[in-house]
Amino acid sequence: MTISGLKGRSLLSLRELSGDEIRELLAKAADLKERTALGVNVPALAGKNIALIFLKPSTRTRVSFVVASTQSGAHPEIFNGDDIRFGVKESVRDIARVFGRVFDGIMFRGYEHATVAEFAQYAGVPVWNGLCDSYHPTQVLADLLTLRENFGDLEGLPLTYVGDGRNNMAVTLAIAAAKLGLDLRILAPKPLQPDPELIKELLAGRESERARVLVTESPEEALSGSACVYGDVWVSMGEEDQTQERIDLLRDLKVTSDLMALTGREDSIYLHCLPAFHLLDTETAIAHPDIREVDDEVFEGAQSRVFDQSENRMHTAKALMQLTIAG
């Protein structure tokens, strides 16, 4: 599938892409992944320069975009918040225009969505949202590629997100469901359920009649027939003061083998955007043992595809950069 309409465009939330454009990105990523496995990297971005801006730190976003850039022939340059100091001595729009004059594409990982949207408005080159408080589109592209590898066609595929249904992952998965026809179930306690008006809006604009977003507190309803159980941390970066409250709300939704069995499918898989709390081997888990959102048995088990998913961050980043810069 070739649409050839992505050159020069930014990715801020997935809303700006059609379902067919997302499919084109996934097909490109799958092709590049096959080539990489054969030791063949396409230098489609030779001579290009890529800025990677991290107002929020990251492991997967950083390694995926650095390797994707270099394997594409481009030079990546990393900036953190102290390097740029948005809004301290220089406005977002001015910094965006400085970067846009010298870089061919920019990955921006920050906080408020309005900041990355303003940056993209003034940069004049493709800007890719590596995460903000509202959306995480580069992660969801990797999720979709992983689902495609395991199940083929995504239309009508049942997928269950377990956790805080208001967060950037749940919202971006809901956008993907409306675009591609996924049967998304969001399993969350009422205080952590997404805005019903948002779900109504997304479904009103759905591109497939098979698109569905069900929000429920019932594990049985959410998991029956589901091809994939998707986990996430219960406390996002910057919400540490809400740790005990989140544990109290979500402890009964910890992903265990018993919860996975509620899918009733032998081929169901487990995904997680990482990092995950599944052992008592981190400072956070030692301090709060009940914060572990998934049993180690599931995380390390035969149904887990979390490290395939993590690797796919790089392949989808490569496809995104090549299609939006080189076409």
Task: Encode pLDDT of 50-98 as tens digits.
Answer: 999 999 999 999 999 999 999 999 999 999 988 888 888 899 999 999 9
Told to judge if 313 belongs to the known catalytic residues of this protein, a careful annotator would answer yes
Task: Kindly report the pTM of this predicted structure.
Answer: 0.96
Told to judge if 210 belongs to the known catalytic residues of this protein, a careful annotator would answer no
DSSP notation for 159-221: EEEES-TTSHHHHHHHHHHHHHT-EEEEE--GGGPPPHHHHHHHHHT-SSTT-EEEEES-HHH
> Mean of the pLDDT values across residues 244-270?
97
CA distance 128 to 137: 8
What are the boundaries of each domain within the chain? 19-135+312-326, 139-309
In the sheet that holds 228-231, the strands lie side by side as: 212-216, 183-187, 158-162, 228-231, 269-272
CA distance 23 to 123: 26
Check if 19-135+312-326 and 139-309 are the same fold: yes
Catalytic position from the list 60, 109, 148, 315: 109
**Banded pLDDT at 4 (limits 50, 70, 90):** low
Q: What is the pLDDT of residue 2?
A: 53
CATH of domain 139-309: 3.40.50.1370
Catalytic position from the list 23, 60, 132, 139: 139
Topology of the domain covering 19-135+312-326:
Rossmann fold (3.40.50)
Task: Encode pLDDT of 85-113 as tens digits.
Answer: 888 889 999 999 999 999 999 999 999 99
Q: What is the pLDDT of residue 1?
A: 47
